[in-house]
A and B are shown apart, each in its own frame.
Chain A
Amino acid sequence: MEAKVEARPVVRPAPPALEVRGGTLPEDQRELKMAARNVNLWYGDKQALFDVDLDIFDRSVTALIGPSGCGKSTFLRCLNRMNDVIEGCVMKGDITLDGQNVYAPNVDPVQLRARVGMVFQKPNPFPKSIFENVAYGPRIHGLASSKDDLEEIVVNSLNRAGLFEEVKDRLNEPGTGLSGGQQQRLCIARAISVNPEVLLMDEPCSALDPIATARIESLMEQLKESLCIVIVTHSMQQAARVSQRTAFFHLGKLIEVGDTTQIFTNPKLERTQDYITGRFG
């Protein structure tokens, strides 16, 4: 491995030091929320995940990084069983939420997805009004006892997503009419409207401009006070900025996991080092 790196004809300039803030999670604050053990996953004949073991702690942000096609999104989708709906997808191993196996036969995936919410790469608001977008989840789960209650949930969720001030005058306008960043925050509001315990974010900022990205990142910082967040990101800077824990995936395997500060400043493995310094990927 050493020799290969040596053999590279092109030597890039050293990358600028990454800004790492709050990138640690002290031992005493680690409350296990979700855990993956020996997770293997196949799409038909093709194996996408190999023996992934990962602990995810409550009230923190865990970032999943790695090159394209390394299985980090697949792993994220395993956490709330979104892969169930994909034809030919077989998963083996255990994933627990609060110690309970989410793949146990008595677990209802619909309820699981209410507890483990998800925000997608591309903002995908329903083609309905802003209000309806946020009210949909509480409505189907029967979380609101009355119309006023529902309204309160919607306003509260929009507030938590930092969107309410911008849209309070046009709650009845279609959610698809918002800007990209607003749409993504609307999707976050929609996801947190059902009070999830875990929020999965699949490259939530990849379709957004830097300003909108900054807003989402500061939003995550606030949300992590009450939630467990798992984020897949291609941007190492973003992982360094927002996460406390970082997991590096490569070719379907979990290569290294640790506190973000440690991963970005002192990775244990050469491959992690190569990736975060931009040698490959």
Chain B
Amino acid sequence: MSEAQTIGGRPRTTDWASSDSQRRIRKRYGADRRLQAFGILAIALAMGLLGILLTSLIITGYPAFVQTKVDLTITVDPAKVDPKDPAQGNFKALIRDAIVKFGPEGASDKAKSDRMKILTSDAAYILRDYVLSHPDTIGKTITLPIPASDPFDQLYKGVIPKEVDALNWSQMRWFERLQSRNVVVDQAGQMGLKLDVYVNPAKVEAGSPPSGDFAVLARDSLQAYLPEVHDTALFTMLAPDAPNAIAESVSADPSVIGKTVPVVFPVSQPFVEFAKGGTPKVLNTRFSSDQMATFDAMIAKGIVQTPFNWDLFFNADSRFPERAGLAGAITGTFYMLVVCFSLSFPIGIAAAVYLEEFAPKNRLTDFIEVNINNLAAVPSVVFGLLGLAVFLGFFGLPRSTPLVGGMVLALVTLPTIIIATRAALKSVPPSIREAALGVGASKHQVMLHHVLPLAMPGVLTGTIIGMAHALGETAPLLLIGMNAFIPSVESMGVLEPATTLPTQIFSWADSPERGFVSRTSAAILVLLGFLVVMNLLAIVLRQRFQRKW
């Protein structure tokens, strides 16, 4: 008993009410609040950026969801469309007849032809397709909605203005400099530029009327006042009839030839307006005044509509933005994702199940594991190069096809699926495995009957994340040429050239036409829409599987 050890030590007293203690408490609360505030700030920032992105996409993309169409009344003249062979009919002439009548009478033939440019260049084909599918319309008058061409579509939607500023900033500055040098004069109520002109005898001949290169003389004399300007836009300052001023002064006094004399040139209309303090406007150079009058007449008749643009979803690609749609891209994406899914889902699950449940722990499996994790971080363009070199180069598979695209994207998504599946398998409680083993289930029965079904929600989430990744992948597809121009959906297949949503967006973003700007945004919105649908699908599937137990 004497050896019994006494349990030593004395408890320390702590003064929880001391000012030090209070300060620590305040500090701790402060830190808690700061952490919370940072979190809220970060979320607000992320949401704000997302909101800005979506808003800008919707604002630019919105016009593409409606399409300006002209309800054109066309008389299908049997003289121009042979009822026996309607495919060879002169549909262009029919369109021309239908549209020319809206414009003012007495225009030149060229101007009348230009009126057809109000409509899409495909107008004749649209009419032909319609007549071919409705042969009974030959000889009758039909009303067909024809898309307006890109400039008029954009004009009607208010994306581009009807009139633009006639003068740019430098032109205004040049004019102001001339004004400050008192070159701009008012002569008999008309604004003029009083310039010294050297009437070059080499260029001007006296006579009645005098002849010579007066336009060049006028320009040279204006140039002499602003020698540092090297821009032909300078000469727009002179009215079209300005050179006549030299001719007049020569005919008034032939002795001026060879001398330098002041001549007053009339100023062109936009500069006159600018001098009066106005903002001169001219008709947008993409439209002629005759086209404008015709289009205005159509609007006045109420045949110009902006219906919802179903063509965006049901047309394939086109050179003309008013006809371009996403059907080809959506079909291509669909085929590609089918190939990608049917490769990566079974392979991914099989690999994950083997690695997680059966593989022995040795150097080789460690090596494989490390590499799978590394593959998830490899830039997708590398997989594209691999696809280009191996699938196209070595195996000689057809280029630009959903088959190769799907194979490449399967490589991109495989690591994601394997990692997600392994995590899901790991999270199945071991008690379930033991229970199954305990009643005499074999390894594969444990796996297939119990573990895999329980892991399915996680597996599906991983797979759909992988598929969503694949849906938005662009770079590897560009490398294997999956940005083909697909003007028709009918010919598409797994082994036919195709394009996909992201590569279509890429191509459209590269196109110069104004109409493709809004279509690019609209296509991005469609892509985002698909992503949202896929994620909803993931959630629904997950709920379904989870409700089972």
Contact = CB atoms under 8 A, between A and B. Distances in A.
B431 A124 contact: yes
B441 interface: yes
A127 B438 contact: no
Nearest to B433: A85
B241 to A, nearest CB: 93
B4 interface: yes
A110 interface: yes
B449 interface: yes
A126 B431 contact: no
A140 B440 contact: yes
A129 to B, nearest CB: 9
Interface in A86-121: 87, 110-114, 117-120
B436 interface: yes
Interface string B425-445: 000010111111111111001
B454 interface: yes
A255 B289 CA distance: 111
A126 B440 contact: no
Interface stretch (A50-58, A187-195, A228-236): A187-195
A237 B4 CA distance: 32
Contacts, number: 75
A252 interface: no
B301 interface: no
A276 B214 CA distance: 128
B548 A194 contact: no
B300 interface: no
B450 A126 contact: yes
A124 B549 contact: no
Contact of B438 (A7, A9, A87, A120): A120
A137 B549 contact: no
A176 interface: yes
B549 A176 contact: yes
Interface string A246-270: 0000000000000000000000000
Interface string A170-204: 00001010000000000100110110000000000
Nearest to B4: A9
B1 interface: yes
For the complex of A and B, 7 pairs with smallest distance between CB atoms: A127-B549, A114-B440, A124-B431, A137-B439, A118-B438, A9-B4, A113-B440
Contacts of B442: 110, 140
B549 A174 contact: yes
Nearest to B453: A127
Nearest to B547: A174
A128 B440 contact: no
B361 interface: yes
A113 B438 CA distance: 6
Interface string B370-414: 000000000000000000000000000000000000000000000
Contacts of A112: 440
A82 interface: yes
Contact of B435 (A9, A87, A120): A120
Nearest to B1: A9
A268 to B, nearest CB: 29
Interface string A30-41: 000000000000
B15 interface: no
Contacts of B433: 85
A111 B436 CA distance: 13
A215 interface: no
A110 B441 contact: yes
Nearest to B6: A9
A182 B3 CA distance: 52
A168 interface: no
Nearest to B361: A87
B431 A113 contact: no
A160 interface: no
A5 B435 CA distance: 43
B1 A191 contact: no
A275 interface: no
A128 B441 CA distance: 16
Contacts of A194: 439-440
A110 B1 CA distance: 57
A122 interface: yes
Interface string B208-248: 00000000000000000000000000000000000000000
B439 A127 contact: no
Interface in B416-472: 429, 431-442, 445, 449-450, 454
